[in-house]
Amino acid sequence: MTSRIDYSVWDHIEVSDDEDDTHPNIDTPSLFKWRHEARVERMDQFIKAGEDLEKGLAESKRKLTEAQKKTKNLSSSVTDDAKAELSKAQAEEKRLKKEERDWEKKLEDHRREEKKMPWNVDTLCKEGFSKSVMNVKPDVKEETEEQKEQKHKTFVEKYEKEIKHFGMMKRWDDSQKYLSDHPHLVCEETANYLVIMCIDLEVEEKKALMEQVAHQTIVMQFILELAKSLKVDPRGCFRQFFDKIKTADQQYQDAFNDELESFKERVRGRAKIRIERAMKEYEEEERQKRLGPGGLDPAEVYESLPEEMQKCFDEKDIAMLQTVISKLDPTEAKVHMKRCIDSGLWVPNSRADEGDDKEEDATYEELNKEMGEQKIE
């Protein structure tokens, strides 16, 4: 009779980020990379702390060895000075022994803490068992970006309705049964689509729906990461995830909730960036529509005009504009009027339209002369 696999060895697997490639259709960093950098940094800091403790202990041992040699040498001398030095050396030796014990205790505590640390995809370096009855994923040739994109597109076209249905589910049992009935959904393409779905919902300000889909996204993430850490097909281990999460201790549940909250914050951030980008594109489109015959933006030209000229355009008063222009330096007036024409703020009369080939360096006096026959937009 085949013995049951002891899944308790997975109790300390930290399910967070991963090194999987980002699908080109996703406008956010890969779901499995989002928390990797922070975790790796924590690991590096922990490793460095251990190295510092080992160095400190080694240095303490070196000093103690020197102090013991000094004490031994002084103990054979009978002079008063030597006795005084011996007393100091013995005190220093005692101090260094205590210091060595302190370093040893700190290092022991550090190693004990290391054993308590949860496993993750960076620290899992060996298999928990050499043989498995589960369907192990065979090594496959890495796909190109074009192949991944086409695979994602084909999958979504075929299963989009089912993915959305799973994304809206709330109960563990319902999710497990649905995946049991639709095991093809247990894959990276589903997780990628749910990420995009979350961002779309946040952009549409459907926040409650976004949070629900985000929950299901993290469910799929946990399953995929568990499968990768065990080097098995995710369709063969999703039931183990649900068995564990439904009977999880507080630490495991907290890990799931922390991952979920972190993901939702990231979704909000990506949605905000998308909205800002869309607003910039809209503003640029509107700006392009406003551009005058000379390619200038009337709003920008208006803001650059002297306040007296702005008032003329606000009130559409040609006589006032003539008066203001006459008071300006001719060169400055020419520049302002040329920019007004190029932006469409000032529309030349029909005679000016017929003279499209009029030289750009027309004198200010000519512009001022024809002003009575022109109109303000």
Query: Quick one: pLDDT at residue 40?
Result: 67
Kindly state whether residue 272 falls inside one of the protein's structural domains: yes
Kindly list the averaged pLDDT for each block of 10 residues, start to end, along the chain of length 377: 42 46 46 56 78 88 87 76 80 89 87 66 45 50 77 88 92 91 91 91 91 92 87 86 80 85 90 86 77 80 88 85 86 87 74 44 44 46
Kindly state whether residue 375 falls inside one of the protein's structural domains: no
Kindly state whether residue 191 falls inside one of the protein's structural domains: yes
| Residue 229 sits in the same domain as residue 187 | yes
| Residue 234 sits in the same domain as residue 261 | yes
| Residue 186 sits in the same domain as residue 252 | yes
Query: Quick one: pLDDT at residue 164?
Result: 93
Kindly state whether residue 372 falls inside one of the protein's structural domains: no
Query: Quick one: pLDDT at residue 1?
Result: 38
Query: Quick one: pLDDT at residue 36?
Result: 59
| Residue 264 sits in the same domain as residue 330 | no
| Residue 274 sits in the same domain as residue 313 | no
Kindly state whether residue 376 falls inside one of the protein's structural domains: no
- Compute the distance between CA of residue 142 and CA of residue 208 in angstroms, rounded to an integer: 38
Kindly state whether residue 175 falls inside one of the protein's structural domains: yes
Looking at the structure of the chain, the number of domains it has is 3
| Residue 281 sits in the same domain as residue 162 | yes
Kindly state whether residue 291 falls inside one of the protein's structural domains: no
| Residue 66 sits in the same domain as residue 99 | yes
Query: Quick one: pLDDT at residue 198?
Result: 92
| Residue 281 sits in the same domain as residue 160 | yes
Are 224 and 191 in contact by the 8 Å Cβ rule? The answer is yes
Kindly state whether residue 95 falls inside one of the protein's structural domains: yes
| Residue 273 sits in the same domain as residue 325 | no
| Residue 74 sits in the same domain as residue 175 | no
* Residue-number span of the structural domain to which 163 is assigned: 145-286
| Residue 271 sits in the same domain as residue 327 | no
Query: Quick one: pLDDT at residue 35?
Result: 55
| Residue 165 sits in the same domain as residue 263 | yes
What secondary structure, in 3-state letters, does the chain show?
A: CCCCCCHHHHCCECCCCCCCCCCCCCCCCCCCCCCHHHHHHHHHHHHHHHHHHHHHHHHHHHHHHHHHHHHHHHHCCCCHHHHHHHHHHHHHHHHHHHHHHHHHHHHHHHHHHHHHCCECCCCCCCCCCCCCCCCCCCCCCCCCHHHHHHHHHHHHHHHHHHHHHHHCCCCHHHHHHHHHHCHHHCCHHHHHHHHHHHHHHHHCCCHHHHHHHHHHHHHHHHHHHHHHHHCCCHHHCHHHHHHHHHCCCHHHHHHHHHHHHHHHHHHHHHHHHHHHHHHHHHHHHHHHHHCCCCCCCHHHHHHHCCHHHHHHHHHCCHHHHHHHHHHCCHHHHHHHHHHHHHHCCEECCHHHHHCCCCCCCCCHHHHHHHHHHCEEC
Q: Is 14 left (phi over 0), alpha (psi -120 to 50) or beta?
A: beta
Residue 229's CATH number: 1.20.58.610
